[in-house]
């Protein structure tokens, strides 16, 4: 599947960094974070928003939400979002990593926010759901900038909220360009990551919007309504070349992360419901997949079945040395050394929140949910996370999140020693907003991050 390529260590015209190592060496510590804020599924009658969080320790407003971009409608369920451009757009002269593309997973509405003023971004335009439905798609999820200044969005369902899902492509004017895939290539869809130097994209599987949006039901799993496969695509031809069946140990494969080196053919995916992490890599022109971490379930007095770990998010440090993840139900943030991608070694973990977390409060704030979406600084020294998964799922597993709102927390990471230390002085409380408690989800940095940047 790998293809020959030209060496890409060259002067860049477009956005981003020449290499992942350049991102580590040339970036400055994050000054602000853009964080999804949610009122969908709460008792607060207000639209979802993008929160601008001050992360400058020398600022008078450190750890505060200093600005909010409110969406024009209620009930979008903003979920994952991405940039209009990244390091893979390096050949596009004049392009800037300036616009956030922010879908509403529940509404199907796609918002574009201009961050030219980093601390005071503004809503630029909105693509309405009807425009998306014309391509027989709904449930927008992962947003990735792709080469040539365009944007690709994975979609979990068709226009009716059923299967199959697919992909939607936007042009650099934020107009729908086309449906990227031919309908029928896949059934389930969720996350994706591409590695253009090897002409490959990987996509994973969640479920149809009509299945997951009302909440989690084990009967849906037993009925085969949740995904358990990985798809490896020919990036150029936009066709699936290989599908890998993960079986019972790979139920609901979610985040797909190639290593950042554009030369690498290794990556990882978290099978949330099976509480496993899989390693994938190319060998002899085929992708191999092997389980490398198996988190054990735990007995809890309030549950009539063992509580699974539910690893809901993973990310790879920019130097490709560590894999970080969050076990939402059990309340654990973990890091594994992946210097040898096939032989993982647990480096450290923090037990916090969740059903088994040792640390139950920070700065006097009780933690009412486990760790969920992660983001790591480009230099690998600060790990942040939020606590909301999806509004209806929060209500089932951590119902107090609806009443108390989410928090954003931080750990200081020592990549040389492979350790993490909870910053007990850091807390962003989304439960203390003027309109009422809000949930918090994905996090992005203005200069790119470990879950959105791709290199040619």
Summarised one tens digit per residue, pLDDT across range 295-321 is 999 999 999 999 999 999 999 999 999
User: Which of 272, 170, 186, 265 shows the shortest CA–CA distance to 233?
Assistant: 186
Q: What is the mean pLDDT of residues 255-259?
A: 98
Q: What is the mean pLDDT of residues 327-347?
A: 98
**Structure confidence at residue 171 (pLDDT):** 96
pLDDT in tens, 143-201: 999 988 899 999 999 999 999 999 999 999 999 999 999 999 999 999 999 999 999 99
Edge-to-edge strands, sheet with 439-444: 65-70, 49-54, 32-38, 439-444
DSSP one-letter code for 19 = S
Confidence of residue 16 (pLDDT cuts 50, 70, 90): confident
86-95, 105-114, 134-143, 424-433: lowest mean pLDDT where?
A: 86-95
Confidence of residue 102 (pLDDT cuts 50, 70, 90): very high
Q: What is the mean pLDDT of residues 124-150?
A: 96
User: Residue 270 pLDDT more than 70?
Assistant: yes
By the 10 Å C-beta count (0-12 exposed, 13-18 middle, 19+ buried), 317 is classed as buried
> In sequence order, what are the residues at sequence separation of 6 or more whose Cβ sits closer than 8 angstroms to the Cβ of residue 153?
101, 103, 110, 140, 141, 142, 143, 144, 167, 168, 169, 170
User: Which of 61, 80, 97 shows the shortest CA–CA distance to 428?
Assistant: 61
The model's pTM: 0.96
Structure tokens, 15 = 């956005």
Q: Can you tell me which residue has the tokens 């030369």?
A: 263
**Structure confidence at residue 8 (pLDDT):** 53
40-54, 84-98, 183-197, 353-367: lowest mean pLDDT where?
A: 84-98
C-alpha distances (whole Å) from 60 to each of 66, 157, 282, 344, 410 are: 11, 45, 49, 41, 19
Alpha helices in 366-433 (DSSP H): 391-397, 400-404
User: Residue 1 pLDDT more than 50?
Assistant: no
User: Residue 18 pLDDT more than 50?
Assistant: yes
Q: What percent of the chain has pLDDT over 70?
A: 97
Q: Can you tell me which residue has the tokens 């209620």?
A: 74
User: Residue 10 pLDDT more than 90?
Assistant: no
By the 10 Å C-beta count (0-12 exposed, 13-18 middle, 19+ buried), 434 is classed as exposed
How far apart are the C-alpha atoms of 242 and 244, rounded to whole Å?
7
Confidence of residue 90 (pLDDT cuts 50, 70, 90): confident
How far apart are the C-alpha atoms of 221 and 239, rounded to whole Å?
27
**Structure confidence at residue 424 (pLDDT):** 97
Do 17 and 427 touch, CB atoms closer than 8 A? no
Structure tokens, 113 = 């926010």
How far apart are the C-alpha atoms of 210 and 382, rounded to whole Å?
37
Q: Average pLDDT, whole number, for the chain? A: 95
Q: 27-52: b or e for each residue (b if 16 or more CB lie within 10 Å)?
A: beebbbbbbbbbbbbbebebbbbbbb
Question: Measured between alpha carbons, how far apart are the two ends of the chain, in Å?
Answer: 16
**Structure confidence at residue 11 (pLDDT):** 62
User: Residue 336 pLDDT more than 70?
Assistant: yes
* Residues in a beta bridge with 65: 53
Do 389 and 313 touch, CB atoms closer than 8 A? no
Q: What percent of the chain has pLDDT over 90?
A: 93
Do 113 and 122 touch, CB atoms closer than 8 A? yes
């Amino acid at each position: 599947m790998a293809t020959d390529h030209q060496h890409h260590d060259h002067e860049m015209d477009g956005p981003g960094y020449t290499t992942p190592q350049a991102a580590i060496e040339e970036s400055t510590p994050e000054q602000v974070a853009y964080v999804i804020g949610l009122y969908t599924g709460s008792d607060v009658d207000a639209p979802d928003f993008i929160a601008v969080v001050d992360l400058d320790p020398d600022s008078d407003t450190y750890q505060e939400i200093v600005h909010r971009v409110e969406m024009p409608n209620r009930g979008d369920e903003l979920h994952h979002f991405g940039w209009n451009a990244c390091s893979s757009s390096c050949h596009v002269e004049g392009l800037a990593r300036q616009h956030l593309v922010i879908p509403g997973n529940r509404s199907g509405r796609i918002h574009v926010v201009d961050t030219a003023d980093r601390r005071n971004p503004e809503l630029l335009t909105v693509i309405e759901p009807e425009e998306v439905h014309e391509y027989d798609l709904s449930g927008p999820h992962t947003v990735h900038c792709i080469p040539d200044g365009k944007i690709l969005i994975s979609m979990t369902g068709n226009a009716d909220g059923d299967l199959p899902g697919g992909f939607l492509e936007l042009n650099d004017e934020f107009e729908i360009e086309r449906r990227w895939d031919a309908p029928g290539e896949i059934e389930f869809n969720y996350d994706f990551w591409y590695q253009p130097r090897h002409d490959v994209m990987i996509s994973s599987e969640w479920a149809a919007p009509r299945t997951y949006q009302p909440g989690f039901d084990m009967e849906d799993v037993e009925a085969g309504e949740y995904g358990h496969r990985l798809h490896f695509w020919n990036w150029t031809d936009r066709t699936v070349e290989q599908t890998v069946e993960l079986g019972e140990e790979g139920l609901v494969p979610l985040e797909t992360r190639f290593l950042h080196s554009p030369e690498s053919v290794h990556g990882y995916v978290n099978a949330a419901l099976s509480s496993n992490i899989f390693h994938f890599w190319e060998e002899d022109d085929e992708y191999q997949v092997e389980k490398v971490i198996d988190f054990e379930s735990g007995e809890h007095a309030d549950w009539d079945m063992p509580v699974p770990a539910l690893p809901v998010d993973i990310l790879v440090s920019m130097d490709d040395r560590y894999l970080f993840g969050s076990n939402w139900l059990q309340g654990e943030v973990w890091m594994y050394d992946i210097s040898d991608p096939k032989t993982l070694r647990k480096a450290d973990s923090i037990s916090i929140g969740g059903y088994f977390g040792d640390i139950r409060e920070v700065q006097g704030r009780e933690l009412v949910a486990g760790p969920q979406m992660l983001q790591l600084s480009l230099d690998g020294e600060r790990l942040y996370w939020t606590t909301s998964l999806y509004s209806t799922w929060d209500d089932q597993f951590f119902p107090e999140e609806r009443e108390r709102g989410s928090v954003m927390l931080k750990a200081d990471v020592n990549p040389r020693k492979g350790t993490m230390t909870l910053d007990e002085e850091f807390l962003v409380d989304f439960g203390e907003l003027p309109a009422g408690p809000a949930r918090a989800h994905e996090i992005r940095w203005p200069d790119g991050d470990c879950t959105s940047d791709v290199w040619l």
